């Protein structure tokens, strides 16, 4: 009887041990098999090379307008996907401004900003921040509001009255504040943000900032270097120019023969 009691007393520990092992195995399996949507991926800023996406098959995103600098018909497009609560995006912001400024007036260059607010707890205000720049854009102040949000990122991110801070930015920028607040809460601005998110997902954006030059992803390590970015853009402009010159040369003989 004592021997039987001794064997029985060890059973609960054995069961607990088996349950623990099963739980660990299950957790490992769940972790390895789970997938995350781009909208919930943290802004890890991976330097790993991203595959070149199929730009033609992706949704267009928000219609080009206030979010574009440069020529509508430019041969080279720099397209940035960013999040206003992303520290890396704030760090890259001055470099992207410098890049756009360097090619101001160049008919072969345009810069497009896309919203990609990450749906993670640490970025709880980022979607609204994107809508705020769109609301400012309705009064011609898109880039000015963007600048305020990136430069003062730490201040409004940590403040529970962040909307009031944004309204103060709007006041300082000479905007109609009541209209700004109404547009911020409206569906039009949110729809534009959603459209950019859908485009980013289709292009495989998994972290912010993500930048494409004519559809080719730029490594994050290059984004803080204006010289590197200019080399990439200049090379693309040169490649487009060479292609156009070649096409022109090939079409000339055909045009001449048809006139004979």
In tens, the pLDDT along 37-74 reads 335 455 545 444 566 777 777 899 999 999 999 999 99
Q: How confident is the model at residue 242 (pLDDT cuts 50, 70, 90)?
A: confident
CA distance 236 to 109: 10
Sheet strands side by side (includes 216-217): 68-70, 109-115, 76-82, 210-213, 216-217
CA distance 210 to 174: 31
The residue whose two tokens read 């101001």 is: 104
Looking at residue 254, its pLDDT comes to 55
Give yes or no for a contact between 80 and 93, defined as CB atoms under 8 angstroms apart: no
* pTM to 2 decimal places: 0.77
CATH number of 55-241: 3.40.30.10
Q: Tell me what percent of the residues of the chain surpass a pLDDT of 70.
A: 75
Write the CB contacts of 65 (distance below 8 Å, at least 6 apart in sequence).
137
Inform me whether the pLDDT recorded for 93 exceeds 70.
yes
Q: How many CA within 13 A on the CB side of residue 132?
A: 27
CA distance 67 to 83: 14
Helix (H, G, I), strand (E, B) or coil at 114: strand
Condensed to tens digits (0 to 9), the pLDDT of residues 139-185 reads 999 999 999 999 999 999 999 999 999 999 999 999 999 999 999 99
Mean pLDDT score, 183-208: 96
* Nearest one of 184, 208, 190 to 93, comparing CA atoms: 208
Q: How confident is the model at residue 226 (pLDDT cuts 50, 70, 90)?
A: very high
In 65-123, where do the E strands start and end?
68-70, 76-82, 109-115
């Amino acid at each position: 009887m004592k021997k039987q009691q001794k064997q029985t007393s060890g059973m609960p520990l054995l069961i607990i041990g088996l349950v623990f092992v099963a739980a660990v195995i299950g957790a490992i399996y769940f972790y390895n098999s789970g997938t995350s949507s781009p909208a919930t991926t943290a802004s890890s800023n991976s330097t790993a090379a991203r595959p070149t996406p199929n730009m033609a098959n992706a949704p267009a995103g928000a219609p080009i307008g206030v979010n574009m600098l440069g020529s509508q018909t430019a041969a080279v497009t720099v397209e940035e996907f960013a999040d206003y609560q992303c520290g890396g995006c704030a760090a890259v912001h001055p470099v992207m401004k410098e890049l756009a400024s360097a090619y101001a007036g160049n008919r072969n260059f345009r810069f497009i900003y896309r919203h990609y607010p990450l749906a993670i707890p640490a970025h709880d205000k980022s979607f609204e921040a994107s809508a705020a720049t769109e609301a400012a854009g309705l009064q011609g102040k898109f880039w000015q509001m963007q600048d305020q949000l990136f430069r003062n990122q730490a201040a409004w991110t940590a403040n529970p009255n962040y909307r009031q801070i944004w309204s103060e930015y709007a006041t300082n920028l000479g905007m109609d504040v009541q209209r700004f607040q109404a547009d911020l809460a409206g569906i039009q601005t949110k729809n534009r943000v959603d459209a950019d998110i859908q485009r980013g997902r289709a292009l495989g954006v998994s972290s912010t900032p993500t930048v494409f030059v004519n559809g080719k992803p730029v490594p994050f390590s290059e984004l803080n270097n204006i010289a590197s970015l200019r080399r990439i853009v200049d090379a693309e402009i040169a490649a487009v120019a060479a292609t156009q010159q070649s096409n022109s040369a090939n079409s000339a003989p055909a045009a001449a023969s048809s006139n004979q």
